[in-house]
Amino acid sequence: MRDKRSPASHDPALLRRLLRAKDRMDAASDEEWTVSCLARVSGVSEAHFARSFKDAFGIPPHRYLLTRRIERAKALLRDTERSITEIAFDTGWNSLGTFGRIFRDITGESPSELRAREKAVPHRLADVPHCFVSAAHRPNLTIAVSEKRRQESDNNALRPNQEEIP
């Protein structure tokens, strides 16, 4: 029977290179990380990097970067009094509108709604190791944000009291 593991899981050297790029995104998720830049960090071609990253980590590099940015934004919203605009720009977004739209698409609530909900409930997160808190608040992006938005608009296109026009 043929082994169904990804090529990246077979090659420890490639996995180390991919982890180098992943670590760079983790350390500076607010920066623009293009596939070409990440491929250079990993020492492989762009196509090979994108394919191998998805095989190794289960999501494409851009989606991974989005999860890190949203995770950091959620922590800043929860733990600081900084303005939402400051948080948006500090987490790598070039537009407050884009930040708000993608934040809502991923988390299901606006940044201000998340902040209000988190402030309303007392937390004892100081007693929990930071790595567990981060993992618990990490968004699960199993599909692209644009695909999620398209599916929701398709579902909203046909309301129960509307008839489909042939």
Residue 124's pLDDT is 65
Q: pLDDT tens digit string along 65-111?
A: 999 999 999 999 999 999 999 999 999 999 999 999 999 999 999 99
Q: What class is the 63-151 domain?
A: mainly alpha
Percent of the chain with pLDDT strictly greater than 90: 62
> Which residues, in sequence order, are CB contacts of 155 under 8 Å at separation 6+?
none
Q: How far apart are the first and last CA of the chain?
A: 49
What's the mean per-residue pLDDT of the chain?
A: 83
Residue 4's pLDDT is 53
Q: Which of 3-7, 121-125, 140-144 has the lowest mean pLDDT?
A: 3-7
HEC sequence for 45-108:
CHHHHHHHHHHHHCCCHHHHHHHHHHHHHHHHHHHCCCCHHHHHHHCCCCCHHHHHHHHHHHHC
pTM of the model as a whole:
0.68
Degrees (nearest 5) of the Cα angle 132, 137, 143?
125
Q: Which two tokens stand for residue 145?
A: 């944000």
Residue 148's pLDDT is 66
The secondary element (H helix, E strand) that includes residue 19 is helix 12-27
Q: How far apart are CA 27 and CA 29, in angstroms?
A: 6
Q: Is residue 151 very low, low, confident or very high in pLDDT (cuts 50, 70, 90)?
A: confident
Q: Is residue 143 very low, low, confident or very high in pLDDT (cuts 50, 70, 90)?
A: low
